[in-house]
């Protein structure tokens, strides 16, 4: 009842015992309060001030309240002892005219209630100018919080509070100084006190008890002396804790929770306290000798953080054998408790901050492990100092702006010393040099950042040698920084996205190259850009990575962002250009002379892009590279960015690895967690951010918690994931938001044109709106032109609608949850807020609804019922006039309601309805575009549609009682499609005129149709599907037509009457043939010589068990280009097919009785045999090979194929590839230079295939040197059995290393695609019943690779250098709908420029020129290291992953590690 300003009385003689929270604060007119609480233990009670300045007498007997909230008042002295555990004093409007309330506070402090209170909070009392010095009387006080008050200092007497553990000072903007308190209070937090300048130091001996938490956050005016004071106290506290821990004086420090932690501004002078600074978050070092312990530190950049910020460091160590152990994970420092008093649980750090912490338990554990290893080395007389790998991290659960700028250690030695270091030497006070081994010093020098080495002229006691050393380091660093890679600070998986982007970077090109990375929120654009930056930026004169460009520019202005970019590129601090529109000429000239690498992250407007890199990239020097990440593709297109890469979801294998790295700190889940991990991966659908967030969230949780968390995600999206995804949504305009929500809740998976029509009808300007959503990666369009959306975005859309009214679904704009829809309809809870209702479920059995159910929903624009269980016992009275889409499957009434108006209706669908007649006479539907009454079996009369001038699609399929079709349908001016298949009562279909726009009429299986007489304006582009019409066969009305697109008709003798050029495609089906019908091959034999068939280009013969053979005279079809035989009873094919001069496609599908195929493959460019389970023999041609290569050849799921036939098929494949390679080299077939003319084969993987391939590998990525004198090569891979979709792509990418060791991207081979054969099947899902071999030759790309290799060899010959170029190949499968199939094996078939049989000599392992096909040992090693775990099929994969990690660590930490790597690999292989 907070702020009920008119409330005067609150009384009750009884009260619920369950009441725990009673708040009546700021009820300024409350005069009487008398509530008889059953119990006040643990009660939270909040009351306002009283006129009489007296507390209500009814509360004066209370004790043990949990929290009591009220204004500061003299009446508080009347409260009894132990009245409340916590007293929260707030301001009240009645106090505005009073004097300083510190006088009142001084009075109440000695009172019984305050002397026994444990927690005291004084909150936003602006007229409180000081805390009384008698506060020391609060002997029971454990926590004191001062929030938003006008104090300028704190009383020193606070240090005498014997039990005080927590002191929080928040938002006290007038606070200027703090006395010596930090040594006496274990947890001391000062937050957003922007006027604070001084923190005094103690003149006494330090406390004998270490403090555990100390924070100065956003205290931006703190002077340098005070900062050194604070930092000195922090170091002293840490060293005290370390010594007491070593002496066991404070056993509590052995617990993980007792970390000593400090959070301070990162200011000048802090580097004096750190002995190992680094800008890398991960590094390897050896601990200095004689350490007592060490503290960790990191510097966080400014930015927004959430309410639960955790930091940490993980440690690994290597033993003397090189084995790696994960010894411990540090407890993360947590600074989230200070947010509990804030309404906004987020904070913006106004400058960089230093986090310093000492973890006694983990530190002790690590040092004991190191000493144990040293002791073992001493026994074995070996000198080995263990190496430790540390990885700092920040796990910030709500925001991702903050980054780790610097991290390192403070060493602690076992002797007493002043915490202030001696600035004149590099030794501690006992003469013990604080050193890092020489290799680590070098690493430290390389990885340090110039910002941490700047000379500070204000610092005192600076010797000449110090200055010279610092300047030298800066100069050396400037040189070294561009010779070593930056390091990534987070887990990253090299996937398809990375390789595609890396391959497009042209290192040696002098052109300015701008690459756009575009995709949905959380898809990994920034991480990918960081990975590319890490890989390439060190090779450029200067580089800059600008994070969150849009947000930074909004916060600080575009000039700030532009100046920041220029300052970084030019190496000048605080460069201010004044305006982003005009760049100083001296700056412009310097930029144009530099080759730079820039990443602009999260750019959302063209203005930003042009301001940062210039219109047309005019500011950038030759050879510069820019990567721009954005969620809006239109920004890239408008900015002239031609190389745009859409970042796609990770596949399931890579997703599992990334998730496991965050959840288990290794590439694979822990035992027993695989199924749970797959559940999590299935939820996020390949979104990297979601994988990281969810993995980190589930880390260290037990199985029952995993199940609970995953179940929760079904109902409530993860907050951090949802926040990232909503950024794109929040940038949409109102129409775009409506379109997005409609798609998310209702139209995902629907055709784009249908959605566009409906949403245009709703006034949302759908064409431009859908395009905008596509540009912002919020939706996508699949190969069937259906709009799809990522599951996480769909869940976000549902959550947005749910938040409109969490408790009352009837108050929401859209309803789609089955239970909520049923509740609203059944209980008549709809309101004018409801715009869309969508119901698709079987949960609502026989739902009885009121006839006036839609009366309260006048704004309903879309009504979709895909459920047939709704009933209207009393009928339906009305439908809303605002409807744009009315789709009701199983509509239960015989007619439409008496009150309806469909003036606005765009789509009208009542499939499977009980309607008998829609309306009488002509009705006006001016906006109607689609009408679907399919399978309304009781429909007797077709409606008059003359009042529907915009109607395009009419469907009357399965209307079994329909006797005739209203002639008005054929007169519709925009009619395109008319379907009336399976209208079994239909006898006549006639019209003297027909709309010229009609291009498809389907009347198949209208078994009683006796007359068809429709006067088509033209046959061009017409698709006409008819049944046999009575005894006369073909309708005479169609015999004059020509140039139909497709004609479907039952196999019949009457087809001989069709004219020449009747149709491009004839599809022969078999309907209602009598069982005693003779073999229909006789009929076919009659038809083939007829005019229509001799001119047809495509012939499909579909589903006929009585067709036992294809007539030999099929060779007469001289115009035939494509022949498809589907589900017929043939046992073989006629050899005469090879004489069809124009035949390019032959498909044989589901012919279960087919046993043999003659030698046809050499004569048909594309030959597909699919699901022919009885096929055993494929004959080889006795003649020589064709002089024209064939391009596509498939034997899929032909499981009975014998070994000899398999070799025949494989030989034909190799012959075709060899022929293509020779013709390509001789330019005999110029068409092979085009990307689309790949020669490709898809065959079973059977015994004997291995003899055809000279280089094969179970790794999907490897490096090799091409054999000399190659004419070309073919790729192959073996796919495992499993389900695949209707769009399966394969491919191989190639990178070339030149003589300088630089990697040049050559090309990516076009992926072989085998999805065309699925369109005849209702279910486009193929199941590979066995492993299959994919073999393809890409002439254009192969030629390009070989020419590049020869060019490098020629350069080497001129330079008298011996270098054979290395090629890295990476095979991949991009399967868009299913992920069961994997790459089992891959490799090459080499082709040489000599004539010879394609059959290899099986008795040797050499090519015909005696050149052994081997991979050098160095390349074999590289092959193992380069291969990504996502594509490997190996045993003991977990052990191999650790071996790979160990090899990579060895390479990174050693200047000459090749010998060590080779020995490690040899030992692993043994």
pLDDT grade for 1451, boundaries at 50, 70 and 90: very low
Rounded mean pLDDT, 1312-1325: 49
d(CA 322, CA 1102): 67
User: Is residue 77 scored above 60 in pLDDT?
Assistant: yes
Q: Say yes or no to pLDDT of 1413 above 60.
A: no
Residue 427 has pLDDT above 50, yes or no: no
DSSP letter for 1078, please: P
* pLDDT on residue 813: 94
**Averaged pLDDT of the chain:** 77
pLDDT of 626: 92
Cα dihedral 1343, 1349, 1351, 1354 sign = negative
CA distance 552 to 9: 52
pLDDT for residue 381: 66
> What pLDDT, in 10s, does the model give residues 501-515?
887 787 777 888 899
**Is residue 233 packed enough to be buried (19+ CB in 10 Å), middle (13-18) or exposed (0-12)?**
buried
Most trustworthy range by pLDDT among 299-308, 759-768, 1401-1410: 759-768
Is this structure's pTM higher than 0.85?
Answer: no
Give residue 1060's pLDDT.
93
Listed residue (929, 982, 990, 935) closest to 954, CA to CA: 929
CA trace torsion 263, 265, 267, 270 (10° rounding) = -10
More confident call, 422 vs 1088: 1088
DSSP H helical ranges for 90-154: 102-108, 112-115
What's the 3-state SS for 654-665? Answer: HHHHHHHHHHCC
Q: What is the pLDDT of residue 1032?
A: 64
Quick count: other Cβ atoms within 10 Å of Cβ 932?
19
Residue 953 CB neighbours (<10 A): 19
User: If pLDDT is split at 50, 70 and 90, which confidence band does 1113 have?
Assistant: very high
Examine the pLDDT at 877 and tell me if it is beyond 70: yes
Query: Of how many residues is the chain composed?
Result: 1470
On whether the CB atoms of residues 1308 and 1291 are closer than 8 A, the answer is yes
3-state secondary structure of 199: strand
Q: How far apart are CA 1020 and CA 482, in angstroms?
A: 66
Reported in sequence order, the residue ranges of 138-292 that DSSP labels E, i.e. its strands, are: 143-147, 166-170, 177-178, 187-191, 198-199, 213-217, 260-265, 282-286
- Backbone phi and psi for residue 407, each to the nearest 5 degrees, phi listed first: -155, 165
Is residue 463 predicted with pLDDT exceeding 60? no
* Beta strand extents in 611-671 (DSSP E only): 625-630, 643-646
% of the chain exceeding 90 in pLDDT: 16
Which of 97-111, 219-233, 576-590, 1331-1345 shows the lowest mean pLDDT across its residues? 576-590
Q: pLDDT tier at 769 (50, 70, 90 boundaries)? A: very high
Residue 957 has pLDDT above 80, yes or no: yes
Average pLDDT on 542-563 reads 87
780 sits in which H/E element: strand 780-781
Calculated CA dihedral for residues 931, 937, 939, 940, nearest 10 degrees: 140
> Quick check: 114 and 141 in contact, CB under 8 A?
no
CA distance readout (Å), 883 to 213, 785, 828, 836: 62, 25, 19, 9
pLDDT of residue 210: 60
Q: What is the distance between the alpha carbons of residues 496 and 1453, in angstroms, rounded to a whole number?
A: 28
pLDDT at 408: 87
Q: pLDDT (tens digit, 9 = 90+) per residue, 24-44? A: 777 777 777 777 776 777 787
In this structure, the number of other CB atoms found within 10 A of the CB of residue 1350 comes to: 13
The pLDDT, as a whole number, for residue 967 is: 83
Average pLDDT over residues 513-520: 90
Q: pLDDT: is 837 or 1163 the higher one? A: 837
State the pLDDT confidence band at 885, using cuts at 50, 70 and 90.
Answer: very high
Q: DSSP secondary-structure letter at 1369?
A: E
d(CA 1126, CA 1172): 10
pLDDT confidence of residue 527: 87
Q: Name the residue among 157, 197, 155 with its Cα closest to residue 174.
A: 197
Give the pLDDT confidence of 1371-1384 residue by residue, as tens digits: 887 655 556 788 88
Taking residues 1426-1441, what's their average pLDDT? 36
C-alpha distances in Å from residue 477, one per residue of 130, 454, 473, 573: 51, 12, 6, 17
8-state DSSP, 1076? T
pLDDT grade, residue 1023 (50/70/90)? very high
Q: How many helices (H) and strands (E) does the chain have?
A: 30, 65
More confident position, 881 or 438: 881
């Amino acid at each position: 009842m907070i702020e009920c300003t008119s409330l005067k009385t609150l009384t009750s003689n009884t009260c619920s015992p369950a009441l725990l929270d009673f708040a009546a604060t700021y009820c300024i007119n409350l005069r009487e309060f008398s509530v008889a609480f059953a119990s006040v233990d643990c009660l939270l009670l909040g009351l306002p001030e009283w006129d009489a300045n007296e507390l209500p007498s009814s509360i004066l007997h209370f004790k043990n309240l949990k929290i009591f909230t009220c204004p500061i008042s003299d009446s508080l002295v009347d409260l009894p002892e132990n009245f409340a555990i916590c007293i929260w004093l707030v301001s009240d409007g009645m106090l505005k005219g009073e004097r300083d309330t510190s006088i009142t506070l001084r009075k109440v402090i000695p009172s019984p209630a305050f002397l026994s209170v444990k927690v005291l909070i004084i909150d936003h009392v602006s007229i409180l100018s000081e805390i009384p010095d008698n506060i020391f009387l609060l002997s029971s006080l454990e926590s004191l919080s001062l929030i938003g008050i006008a104090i300028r200092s704190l009383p020193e007497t606070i240090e005498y509070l014997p039990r005080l553990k927590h002191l929080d000072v928040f938002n006290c903007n007038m606070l200027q100084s703090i006395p010596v308190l930090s040594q006496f209070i274990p947890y001391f937090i000062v937050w957003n006190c922007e006027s604070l300048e001084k923190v005094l130091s103690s003149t006494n001996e330090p406390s004998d008890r270490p403090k555990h938490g100390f924070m100065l956050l956003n205290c931006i005016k703190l002077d340098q002396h005070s900062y050194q004071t604070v930092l000195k106290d922090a170091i002293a506290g840490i060293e005290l804790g370390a010594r007491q821990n070593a002496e066991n004086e404070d056993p509590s420090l052995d617990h993980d929770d007792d970390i000593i932690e400090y959070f301070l501004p990162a200011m000048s002078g802090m580097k004096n306290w750190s002995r190992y600074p680094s800008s890398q978050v991960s590094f390897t070092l050896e601990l200095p000798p004689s350490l007592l312990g060490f503290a960790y530190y990191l510097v966080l950049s400014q930015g927004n953080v959430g309410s639960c910020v955790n930091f940490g460091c993980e440690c690994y160590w290597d033993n003397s054998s090189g084995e790696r152990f994960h010894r411990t994970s540090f407890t993360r420092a947590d600074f989230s408790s200070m947010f509990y008093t804030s309404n906004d649980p987020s904070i913006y750090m106004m400058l960089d901050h230093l986090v310093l912490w000492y973890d006694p338990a983990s530190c002790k554990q690590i040092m004991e492990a190191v000493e144990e290893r040293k002791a073992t080395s001493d026994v074995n007389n070996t000198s080995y100092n263990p190496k430790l790998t540390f990885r700092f991290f920040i796990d910030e659960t709500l925001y991702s702006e903050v980054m780790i700028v610097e991290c390192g250690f403070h060493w602690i030695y076992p002797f007493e010393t002043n915490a202030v270091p001696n600035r004149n030497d590099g030794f501690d006070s006992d003469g013990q040099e604080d050193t890092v081994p020489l290799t680590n010093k070098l690493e430290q020098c390389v990885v340090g950042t110039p910002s941490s080495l700047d000379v500070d002229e204000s610092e005192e006691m600076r010797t000449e040698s110090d200055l010279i050393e610092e300047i030298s380091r800066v100069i050396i660093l400037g040189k070294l920084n561009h010779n070593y890679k930056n390091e990534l600070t987070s887990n990253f998986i090299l996937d398809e996205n990375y390789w595609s982007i890396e391959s497009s970077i042209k290192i040696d090109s002098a052109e300015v190259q701008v690459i756009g990375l575009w995709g949905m929120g959380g898809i990994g654009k920034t991480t990918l850009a960081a990975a590319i930056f890490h890989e390439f930026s060190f090779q450029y004169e200067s580089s800059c990575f600008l994070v969150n460009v849009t947000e930074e520019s909004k916060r600080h202005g575009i000039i700030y962002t532009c100046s920041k970019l220029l300052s970084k590129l030019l190496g000048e601090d605080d460069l201010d250009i004044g305006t982003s529109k005009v760049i100083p000429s001296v700056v412009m000239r310097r930029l144009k002379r530099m080759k730079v690498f820039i990443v602009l992250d999260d750019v959302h407007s063209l203005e930003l892009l042009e301001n940062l890199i210039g219109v047309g990239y005019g500011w950038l020097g030759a050879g510069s590279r820019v990567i721009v990440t954005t969620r809006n593709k239109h920004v890239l297109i408008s900015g002239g960015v031609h190389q745009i890469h859409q970042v796609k979801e990770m596949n399931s294998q890579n997703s599992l690895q990334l998730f496991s790295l965050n959840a288990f700190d290794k590439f694979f889940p822990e035992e027993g967690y695989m199924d749970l991990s797959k559940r999590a991966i299935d939820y996020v659908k390949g979104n990297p951010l979601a994988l990281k967030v969810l993995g980190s969230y589930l880390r260290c949780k037990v199985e029952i918690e995993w199940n609970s968390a995953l179940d929760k995600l079904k109902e409530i999206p993860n907050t951090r994931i949802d926040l990232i995804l909503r950024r794109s949504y929040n940038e949409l305009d109102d129409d775009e938001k409506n379109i997005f929500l409609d798609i998310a809740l209702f139209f995902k998976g629907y055709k784009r044109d249908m959605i566009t029509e409906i949403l245009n009808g709703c006034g949302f300007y759908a064409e431009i709106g859908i395009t905008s959503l596509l540009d912002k990666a919020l939706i996508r369009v699949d190969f069937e032109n259906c709009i799809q959306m990522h599951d996480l975005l769909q869940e976000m859309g549902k959550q947005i609608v749910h938040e409109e009214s969490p408790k009352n679904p009837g108050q929401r704009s859209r309803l789609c949850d089955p239970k909520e829809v049923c509740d609203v309809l059944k209980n008549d809870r709809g309101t004018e807020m409801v715009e869309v209702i969508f119901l698709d479920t079987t949960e609502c059995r026989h739902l009885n609804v009121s006839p006036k159910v839609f009366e309260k929903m006048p704004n309903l624009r879309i009504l979709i019922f895909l459920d047939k269980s709704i009933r209207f016992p009393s009928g339906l009275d009305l439908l809303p006039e605002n409807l744009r889409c009315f789709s009701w499957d199983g509509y239960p009434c015989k007619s439409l309601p008496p009150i309806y108006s469909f003036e606005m209706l765009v789509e009208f669908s009542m499939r499977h309805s009980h309607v008998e007649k829609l309306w009488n006479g002509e009705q006006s539907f001016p906006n109607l575009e689609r009408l679907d009454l399919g399978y309304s079996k009781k429909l007797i009369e077709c409606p008059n549609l003359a009042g529907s001038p915009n109607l395009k699609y009419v469907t009357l399929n399965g209307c079994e009682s329909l006797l005739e079709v209203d002639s008005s349908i054929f007169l519709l001016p925009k009619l395109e499609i008319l379907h009336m298949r399976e209208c079994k009562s239909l006898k006549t279909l006639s019209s003297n005129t027909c709309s010229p726009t009609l291009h498809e009429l389907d009347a198949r299986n209208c078994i009683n149709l006796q007359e068809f007489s429709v006067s088509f304006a033209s046959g061009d582009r017409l698709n006409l599907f008819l049944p046999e019409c009575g005894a006369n066969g073909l309708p005479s009305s169609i015999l004059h037509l020509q140039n139909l697109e497709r004609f479907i008709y039952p196999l019949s003798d009457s087809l001989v009457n069709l004219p020449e050029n009747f149709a491009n495609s004839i599809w022969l089906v078999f309907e209602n043939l009598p069982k005693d019908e003779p073999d229909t091959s006789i009929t076919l034999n009659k038809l083939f010589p007829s005019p229509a068939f001799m001119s047809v280009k495509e012939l499909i013969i579909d589903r006929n068990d009585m067709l036992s053979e294809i007539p030999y005279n099929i060779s007469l079809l001289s115009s035939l280009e494509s022949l498809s035989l589907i589900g017929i009873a043939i046992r073989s094919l006629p050899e005469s097919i090879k004489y069809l001069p124009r035949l390019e496609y032959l498909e044989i599908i589901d012919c279960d009785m087919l046993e043999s195929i003659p030698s046809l493959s050499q004569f048909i460019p594309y030959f597909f045999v699919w699901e022919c389970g009885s096929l055993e023999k494929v004959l080889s041609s006795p003649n020589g090979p064709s002089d024209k290569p064939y391009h596509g050849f498939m034997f899929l799921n032909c499981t009975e194929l014998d070994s000899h036939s398999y070799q025949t098929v494989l030989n034909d494949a190799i012959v075709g590839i060899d022929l293509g390679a020779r013709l390509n080299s001789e330019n005999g077939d110029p068409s092979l230079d085009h990307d689309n003319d790949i020669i490709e084969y898809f065959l079973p993987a059977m015994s004997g295939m291995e003899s055809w391939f000279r280089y094969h590998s179970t790794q999907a990525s490897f490096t090799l040197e091409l054999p000399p004198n190659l004419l070309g090569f073919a790729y192959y891979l073996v796919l495992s059995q499993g389900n695949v979709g209707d769009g399966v792509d394969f491919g191989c990418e190639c990178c070339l290393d030149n003589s300088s060791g630089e990697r040049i991207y050559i090309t990516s081979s076009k992926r072989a695609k085998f999805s065309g054969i699925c369109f005849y099947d209702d279910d486009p899902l193929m199941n590979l019943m066995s492993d299959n071999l994919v073999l393809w030759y890409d002439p254009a790309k192969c030629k390009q690779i070989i020419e590049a290799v020869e060019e490098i060899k020629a350069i080497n010959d001129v330079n008298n250098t011996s270098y054979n170029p290395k090629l890295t190949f990476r095979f991949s499968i991009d399967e868009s709908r299913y992920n069961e199939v994997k790459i089992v094996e891959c490799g090459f078939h080499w082709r040489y420029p000599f004539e010879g049989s394609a059959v290899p000599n099986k008795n040797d392992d050499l090519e015909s020129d005696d050149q052994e096909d081997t991979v050098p040992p160095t390349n074999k090693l590289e092959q193992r290291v380069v291969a990504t775990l996502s594509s490997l099929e190996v045993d003991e994969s977990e052990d191999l992953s650790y071996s790979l990690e160990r090899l990579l660590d060895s390479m990174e930490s050693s200047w000459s590690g090749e010998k060590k790597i080779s020995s490690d690999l040899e030992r692993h292989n043994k």
